[in-house]
Structure 1
């Protein structure tokens, strides 16, 4: 699919306030039926966008603007690190009963969707030692 068509689809999805999308005509004779393709994923995306606003905050005064769980100093990346380290979301909620499961889920999705920028901290892992 060419870039202009992808942009049209994205603008259409973002502007849609409905649960059902119907079809989008990309060019004469080319219709894209969006419902079976995006309904479930778009629903989860909208829930994430709403919970992200509710539970996550970026404050330049805290950790240099690293995204954190609102009202805490827990970064989204630290939530991801704990999950990758073998903990479960249920264990995190046990450790922090004042923070909802929904907040931890939003932090986890945010950290996965926004990896750190720049080179890996271990140097150049793609080069093998001679």
Structure 2
């Protein structure tokens, strides 16, 4: 079974703004499926949405909604090997080298989807349902925080020898694409006051 991704995961994996992915949903380029993941239902998109978002980001050609739907339909019929050599004719005399535009990003996206499903758990009995790496109490947000503040994957693996690089990378992508909601921690008003001096 092919991996499925939330709109934020598609945006993160393709380096595309989330509004681009949301626009594709609005234009009915993709239909979302509601899937229970962790504690809540999430809108999920098919894996080829990552390739679509990459193409839309990289091609400087204005496509109408019908073209976008045609592209998405064609992408849905390809496997990763076919994607590497596929060329798509947008309209007469306008052709895209999709393999060159997408590169190996679909393999990375599929690897992330597999690692996410295998290694990231949201269990109400562990840290109140905060996503953690399976078999640990290490939250994905603590991993992302360490990477954001200068630690490397090697640093994290030396502190937690039972983890794998795959788990650390999946945790970081998951944390970026599933941000915490609520009031920010610390005292953000204090930092703003110091900047105004």
Q: 1:19 aligned to 2:81? A: yes
The answer (yes or no) to whether the contact 1:80–1:108 under 8 Å persists in 2 is yes
Change over 3 Å in CA distance of 1:85–1:16 after alignment to 2: same
Displacement, 1:10?
A: 4.6
The answer (yes or no) to whether the contact 1:80–1:112 under 8 Å persists in 2 is yes
Change over 3 Å in CA distance of 1:97–1:8 after alignment to 2: farther
Tell me the equivalent position of 1:102: 166
Once superposed, what is the RMSD of the aligned Cα atoms? Answer: 3.0
Alignment of structure 1 residues 1-130 onto 2, 5 Å: 1-2=62-63, 4=65, 5-6=67-68, 8-10=70-72, 12-13=74-75, 15-21=77-83, 22-117=86-181, 120-121=184-185, 122=188
Instruction: Give the number of aligned pairs.
Output: 129
> 1:41-90 CA distances to partner (integer Å, 9 max, x unpaired)?
22221211111112111223323332210111111111011112222211
Displacement, 1:40?
A: 1.9
The answer (yes or no) to whether the contact 1:76–1:111 under 8 Å persists in 2 is yes
**SS of alignment partner, residue 88 of structure 2:** strand
The answer (yes or no) to whether the contact 2:123–2:129 under 8 Å persists in 1 is yes
Q: Which runs of 5+ in 1 are unaligned?
A: none
Change over 3 Å in CA distance of 1:3–1:60 after alignment to 2: farther
> 1:15-59 CA distances to partner (integer Å, 9 max, x unpaired)?
532323102344455433210000222222121111111211122
Q: Which runs of 5+ in 2 are unaligned?
A: 1-61
Superposed structure 1 runs of 4+ greater than 6 Å apart: none
Answer 1 or 2: higher relative contact order, Cα 8 Å, separation at least 6. 2
Q: Distance in 2 between matches of 1:27 and 1:39?
A: 22
